[in-house]
Structure 1
Amino acid sequence: MNRIILFGLALISCVLLHAQRKIDVLHYTFRIGLSDSSDNITGDALIRFRMLETTPNLLIDLAAVNPATSKGMKAGKVMMKGLPLTYTQTEQQLNISLGAIVSAGDTAEIQIQYSGVPSDGLIISKNKYGHRTFFADNWPNRGHNWLPCVDDPGDKASVDFIVTAPQHYQVVSNGLLIEETSLSADKKLTHWREDVPINTKVMVIGVAAFAVQRSGTIAGCIPVYSWVYPEDRDKGFYDYEQANEILPFFIREVGPYGYRKLANVQSKTIFGGLENANTIFYAEGSVRGDRRSEGLLTHEIAHQWFGNMATEKSFAHLWLSEGFATYMTIYYMESKYGRDTAVKMLEEDRRQVAAFARKSNRAIVDEDPDFMKLLNANSYQKGGWVLHMLRQQLGHEVFMKAIKKYYAQYAGSNADTRDLQHVFEQVSGKSLKTFFDQWLYQPGIPQLDIKWNYAPRTKKITITVKQLQPQAFSFPLKIAIQCSGGKTQTQVLQVKNNTDTFSFSLTGTASSVLADPDTELLYEGTVTGK
């Protein structure tokens, strides 16, 4: 996800209810009715699930009607095997009595009928051209504002969306188009099916007037589509066509693409981009006709591997999604445009991390229950920098081997930071506990005061590195020493204490010292000396 947000998130509560989950959802079928006469939607959800515990009741997330706004979903009939079930609807959930104890391991199916005006999650509004649109925007756990579901990244299920809407709309969704049928002069049914299990944060529908282009076919079998507003047809097709370069890059570098299509969709998402599974939504402004959204497309397409197929177990480990997409974007840009482009991106990201660290005392792995607060430089830029430092310290070959192994092992499931650590340790044959502990579980970054002194008589230079932050980091620090005659001598210092002093001989007179000349370390600091 790109973090550009188009309206105030302070109004959106995204605190997950930590209810004890007793089911594993296997499949959703959502029948959604939309109209132009009002923002009220009708829904019929069929949820097939496996019981994880023997229990007489279960919890399904569904936001109730808020009396103050009259927005929210009102549950109607809830049934199992055609028989009605009793339930209570709280502010955020349905507590459903199953009528009899369902044993652990059993598979069951419930049907929930409901209706209401979505308070969030499904954005019903006019696009920039004044046309009415409907766009799902479920991240992080806003799907339950319009869908009965288990709104948790750790629960993945296949899904069918069957949408009935006025004839003049087109509907795009996850997976493949199964059916498009005119029901009457003014109503049309559109059915999409996603067979690959995904979580609710990336389940979507988009309903609007679109211009649609099949811009390419990757690996002989993966169609790539552009869905843009008709007024933006030429510009949008030109901008989004770049996906045909990006998708094969990640297939080659990371592993097989997990889905059967890729659609890039101009939308009303509140974010700059939202990585919905194989149906990526981009903000309206992403279409300009100048291809300046290449980085945005790359970030969201990278999410199809990291975040969608290999998913964080909980939002505390969001960096496994956002940090990966951030660094994979840099890696793509490096491959296409060269190292100088990557260095500029890394330096800008480092500045953002340093600025965030000065005002925040939180680590990357963060249990903050307000998930919107996790959309910060820790999850994105610092997470990307962690991967960059792993690549520098382990070497490119080992790094990419570990990335591929991690994806192969966790595609289709969920992982946390320790799972990633274990994969990197297996591949590299090294203990990375200190690295992961300090960079991912410890707040801040190294704040360095580096002083040097050159002694002409002994031709030795002494370098003192002081760490000014509360807790010392352990890291290699490359130093480039400019000597007389234009020669540069490079030394790698192993820094691990609050204060470390290093002394070594030079081949010429030192004139200047540069820390981290190859942009390999996440830090901020100063270098002084003579």
Structure 2
Amino acid sequence: MKKIAFVLFSCLILLQYITMAQSLKSDTIDVLNYNLVLDFTDFNNQILTGKASLKITPKMSINSLSLDLTELTTDSVKINSATQCNFIHNNEVLYINLPSTYSQQDTFYLDIFYHGHPISEPGGWGGFYWTNSYAYNIGVAMIDNPHNYGRVMYPCLDDFIDRASYNFEVTVKSNHTAVCGGILQNVVDNGNDTKTFFWELNEEIPTYLSSVAVGEYIAIEDTFNGINGQIPIFIYVQPADSQKAVSSFAKLKTTLSIFEDKFGPYEWPRVGYVSVPFNGGAMEHATNIAYPRFAIDGGLNYETLYAHELAHHWFGDLITCHHEKEMWINEGWASFTEFTFTEEVYGKEAADLNIINLLKDVLEYAHIEDGGYFALS
């Protein structure tokens, strides 16, 4: 009985400790940059090997901190590339003891070495996905809470509040291409049947908008003459889909012109989509939208889908909700822009018809899909 009581007491202390660590993460530190060194060469076992280097400034005096990291195994932690740090990782929260106290005037670097099989959420939407030849993330969970899902791929402050710049160094097999957010800086042939892709995103984003996709890709390239100057367009697709992509995205630059006219300049360094074998929809990763391969069919049936995801670069990516209860604002604005696109391209009558059909679906099916009627506030 004493042993059981001791175990229960220990569990309560651990739970309190984890809860405290979870609630204090965003209040105690600001992550300025993530430098992610990721190896995706082990497709047979679907294992990611990673090193995450975080540039951190405290918001108060601290001698410890906690980060989110789900299911992956933490191998070691170093501060400023030298001193080993003690840590506890419970499969959800990584708690790190620092060798000394750091204040608001300090900036330090944490190197976290880890590996494992990145998970997807039980509901089958957000998370990390593997096929025989493709690996990619979907940065938002629909069921798991919190809904941010950066933590399935690297240790991070996984909330909507903290925003950071990103550097990616992604090593893949020589027949693969790694596509991330930002601008491709370099590709290095490692001489051992692997290549490393270096990407940089200087614009700060929350973790759920970070991304990587690995596979057999070619890039469809174009340029948009935006309000603030020329913006490169890169659409990464499977080689067999290149002509279909040109046809399916035929009105992409028209969409950009409409949105800049209505909502202001496109503030990102490139317009980017990457085709993924995902049937659940699309995801607005910053400058690297995960776009379902089925929608690249050579036709125009999914124009409002790519318009919706592009619109998030104004509503959601540029201006982000404070917590998950406000995610409807992100999605509401992006859905509204679908009708904006339709009206500008096909006329008001077509847009009105789409709105009527949407309202009809809501009235007929929403209460069934949601399991009942719910107040909006």
Give the TM interval when normalised to the shorter protein. Answer: 0.7 to 0.9
Query: Cα distance 1:30–1:255, how it changes in 2: closer, same or farther (>3 A)?
Result: same
Q: Could you tell me how far apart the structure 1 residues matched to 2:219 and 2:252 are?
A: 15
1:45 aligns with 2:52: yes
Question: Which AA in structure 2 matches 1:301?
Answer: L
Match of residue 24, structure 2, among 20, 23, 26: 20
Query: Cα distance 1:178–1:57, how it changes in 2: closer, same or farther (>3 A)?
Result: same
> Which residue of 2 is the match for residue 216 of structure 1?
223
Q: Could you tell me how far apart the structure 2 residues matched to 1:351 and 1:213 are?
A: 38
Q: Could you tell me how far apart the structure 1 residues matched to 2:218 and 2:247 are?
A: 13
TM-score norm. by structure 1 comes to 0.61
> Which residue of 2 is the match for residue 198 of structure 1?
205
Match of residue 234, structure 2, among 225, 229, 233: 225
> Which residue of 2 is the match for residue 313 of structure 1?
322
Q: Could you tell me how far apart the structure 2 residues matched to 1:360 and 1:32 are?
A: 44
Question: Which AA in structure 2 matches 1:136?
Answer: N
> Which residue of 2 is the match for residue 171 of structure 1?
178
Deviation at 1:185, TM superposition (A): 4.0
Question: Which AA in structure 2 matches 1:134?
Answer: A
- The 3-state SS of whatever aligns with 1:311 is coil
1:60 aligns with 2:86: no
1:322 aligns with 2:328: no
> Which residue of 1 is the match for residue 93 of structure 2?
93
- The 3-state SS of whatever aligns with 1:271 is coil
> Which residue of 2 is the match for residue 137 of structure 1?
138
Question: Which AA in structure 1 matches 2:76?
Answer: K
> Which residue of 2 is the match for residue 418 of structure 1?
none
> Which residue of 2 is the match for residue 107 of structure 1?
107
- The 3-state SS of whatever aligns with 1:248 is helix
> Which residue of 2 is the match for residue 284 of structure 1?
293
CA deviations over 1:366-407 (Å, ceiling 9, x no partner): xxxxxxxxxxxxxxxxxxxxxxxxxxxxxxxxxxxxxxxxxx
CA deviations over 1:43-78 (Å, ceiling 9, x no partner): 0000012212322211110013xxxxxxxx110110
Q: Could you tell me how far apart the structure 2 residues matched to 1:362 and 1:97 are?
A: 45
Whether the 8 Å contact between 2:235 and 2:272 is mirrored in structure 1 is yes
TM-score norm. by structure 2 comes to 0.85
Query: Cα distance 1:91–1:185, how it changes in 2: closer, same or farther (>3 A)?
Result: closer
> Which residue of 1 is the match for residue 78 of structure 2?
79
Question: Which AA in structure 1 matches 2:366?
Answer: F
CA deviations over 1:21-52 (Å, ceiling 9, x no partner): 22111100000011144311110000012212
> Which residue of 2 is the match for residue 384 of structure 1?
none
1:356 aligns with 2:369: no
Q: Could you tell me how far apart the structure 1 residues matched to 2:236 and 2:246 are?
A: 8
Deviation at 1:270, TM superposition (A): 5.2
> Aligned runs of 1:260-275 on 2, under 5 Å?
260-269=269-278, 271-275=280-284
Bigger mean CA deviation after superposition, 306-315 or 230-239 = 230-239
Q: Could you tell me how far apart the structure 1 residues matched to 2:200 and 2:321 are?
A: 24
Deviation at 1:361, TM superposition (A): 4.3
Whether the 8 Å contact between 1:226 and 1:241 is mirrored in structure 2 is no
CA deviations over 1:149-194 (Å, ceiling 9, x no partner): 1111211100011001111111111110111010114011100000
- The 3-state SS of whatever aligns with 1:308 is coil
Q: Could you tell me how far apart the structure 2 residues matched to 1:145 and 1:118 are?
A: 6
> Which residue of 2 is the match for residue 382 of structure 1?
none
Deviation at 1:318, TM superposition (A): 0.7
CA deviations over 1:279-298 (Å, ceiling 9, x no partner): 11111211111121101011
Whether the 8 Å contact between 2:304 and 2:341 is mirrored in structure 1 is no
Question: Which AA in structure 2 matches 1:112?
Answer: I
> Which residue of 2 is the match for residue 184 of structure 1?
191
Question: Which AA in structure 1 matches 2:39?
Answer: G
Q: Could you tell me how far apart the structure 2 residues matched to 1:352 and 1:202 are?
A: 30
Deviation at 1:125, TM superposition (A): 1.1
Q: Mind listing any 5+ residue stretches in structure 1 that lack a counterpart?
A: 1-16, 65-72, 127-131, 365-440, 442-530
Query: Cα distance 1:238–1:340, how it changes in 2: closer, same or farther (>3 A)?
Result: same
Q: Mind listing any 5+ residue stretches in structure 2 that lack a counterpart?
A: 1-20, 121-126, 141-146
Query: Cα distance 1:181–1:56, how it changes in 2: closer, same or farther (>3 A)?
Result: same
- The 3-state SS of whatever aligns with 2:282 is strand
Query: Cα distance 1:264–1:272, how it changes in 2: closer, same or farther (>3 A)?
Result: same
Query: Cα distance 1:335–1:46, how it changes in 2: closer, same or farther (>3 A)?
Result: same
Q: Could you tell me how far apart the structure 2 residues matched to 1:157 and 1:269 are?
A: 27
Question: Which AA in structure 1 matches 2:23?
Answer: A
Question: Deviating runs (4+, > 3 A) in structure 1?
Answer: 357-364
What is the RMSD of the two structures over their aligned residues, measured on CA atoms? 1.7
Equivalenced residues, count: 336
Query: Cα distance 1:270–1:20, how it changes in 2: closer, same or farther (>3 A)?
Result: farther
Question: Which AA in structure 1 matches 2:115?
Answer: S
Q: Could you tell me how far apart the structure 2 residues matched to 1:336 and 1:235 are?
A: 21
Q: Could you tell me how far apart the structure 2 residues matched to 1:19 and 1:164 are?
A: 34
Deviation at 1:122, TM superposition (A): 2.4
> Which residue of 2 is the match for residue 455 of structure 1?
none
Q: Could you tell me how far apart the structure 2 residues matched to 1:327 and 1:334 are?
A: 11
Q: Could you tell me how far apart the structure 2 residues matched to 1:151 and 1:218 are?
A: 35
Q: Please identify the structure whose Cα radius of gyration is greater.
A: 1
Question: Which AA in structure 2 matches 1:133?
Answer: Y
CA deviations over 1:257-286 (Å, ceiling 9, x no partner): 121101122113453111110111111211
Whether the 8 Å contact between 1:123 and 1:268 is mirrored in structure 2 is no
